[in-house]
Amino acid sequence: MAVVTVIDVLTPDWLHIAPVLAAVPVLAAVLLSRRATAMLAGTVLVITVLLQWEAGSLGHPDAVVTLASLFVVGLTSLAACTLRQRRERQLRQVRSVAETAQRALMHPLPRRIGSLALSGVYLPAESEARIGGDFYEALRTPYGTRILIGDVRGKGLPAVGATSTLLSAFRELAYREPSLTRAAEQLDARARRHIAALDGAPDPESSAGPEPGALFTERFATALLVEFPPGEAVARIVHCGHPEPYVVRGSEVCLCAPEQPGAPLGLGDLLDTPLAAQDVPFRPGDRLVLYTDGFIEGRDRRGRFHDLAARVRAHAGRPLEAMVAALRRDLLHHVDGDLGDDAALVALERLA
């Protein structure tokens, strides 16, 4: 306003740039409060009247049209500002509800459980979302620390419902089942019951059996169950169709491929081979990096996949939380902030 006023005073009488002040209330409606927008719109009208009086054009038809136009622009900007603030309040309420639901659904990871240090990150595909199909949980049980990380196929409320079902089942089974493979089998059964309920099919464990054509389904979840038995320097892993974790020993990063991979949760009845647990040496100083496919399938503008192994190797010498923060930054930088899928990562370190 100051720049336009000075220029208008210094220019010849036949040139008036005061109508440019109409941009002021429009910009205020985007950035400022309703009160500030109204004050600036009124100030623009006063300045324009003073400039017209100084130029001797006050009361001329073109000057009246200019003032009327500024008045209409000011009212329109005030209405736009009111609508924007209302939408912002609604968005804050929705985000608050989503954050509350997220905390109730997926508990924050503890920084330490016994001799294990933990750090995790969750990145929803939608920037304003707080809930997605990826999930993780860490529990201290009588059978040692147990970790679950998984990825539900699909998005939206059905994925959230499946995530809730699996997490609640794991929290119960982790304390009840001494065997990690048995806990994974029970998770698969719970997932199949959830799928049957969604598809309107009979319970897969009932005597009626599945309906014809209901054997194959697109509803499933990949998962990885990890157990750290007390008094043993191993990590016991059960693979359920999930991406293989990385074991970090010093600067060495190794992919922990399963000896006997299992089917994703919800598809366990399609394979005859039972789930099996794999013991991986896990001594003080070792780290285990668990992740969902969002961390390895993110693509840059050239279509290249994110190389998580290389990034883990590059940050292996950092403290655990700093390493996780760096991996998060690397993924967002690689995809230029545009995630095509939810991404979750949990890193664990055995302390001395």
Token pair of 277 as six digits: 């647990």
Q: Name 192's Cβ contacts closer than 8 Å, sequence gap at least 6.
A: 204, 205, 266, 268, 269
Token pair of 85 as six digits: 């603030």
Q: Name 341's Cβ contacts closer than 8 Å, sequence gap at least 6.
A: 125, 293, 294, 297, 298
Write down the pLDDT at residue 292. 92
What is the percent of the chain with per-residue pLDDT over 70, rounded to a whole number?
88
Lowest mean pLDDT among 111-125, 148-162, 273-287: 148-162
Token pair of 302 as six digits: 């050239």
CB-CB neighbours of 284 under 10 Å: 10
Q: Which of 178, 109, 116, 182 is nearest to 145 (CA)?
A: 116
Residues pairing with 14 in the sheet: none
Do 277 and 236 form a contact (C-beta atoms < 8 A)? yes
The helix/strand/coil state of 197 is: helix
Lowest mean pLDDT among 9-18, 56-65, 244-253: 9-18
Q: Name 237's Cβ contacts closer than 8 Å, sequence gap at least 6.
A: 224, 225, 226, 227, 245, 256, 258, 277, 278, 279, 280
Q: Which residue has the tokens 């050239």?
A: 302
Token pair of 137 as six digits: 């949980």
CB-CB neighbours of 256 under 10 Å: 18
Q: Which of 128, 120, 27, 147 is nearest to 87 (CA)?
A: 128
Interval 250-270 mean pLDDT: 84
Write down the pLDDT at residue 211. 42
Interval 96-115 mean pLDDT: 78
pLDDT in tens, 317-333: 899 999 999 999 999 99
Give the C-alpha separation, 342 to 131, whole Å.
9
Q: Is the pLDDT of residue 287 over 90?
A: yes
Interval 136-155 mean pLDDT: 89
Q: Is the pLDDT of residue 291 over 60?
A: yes
Q: Name 94's Cβ contacts closer than 8 Å, sequence gap at least 6.
A: none
Give the C-alpha separation, 184 to 177, whole Å.
10
Write down the mean pLDDT value for the chain.
84
Q: Is the pLDDT of residue 216 over 70?
A: no
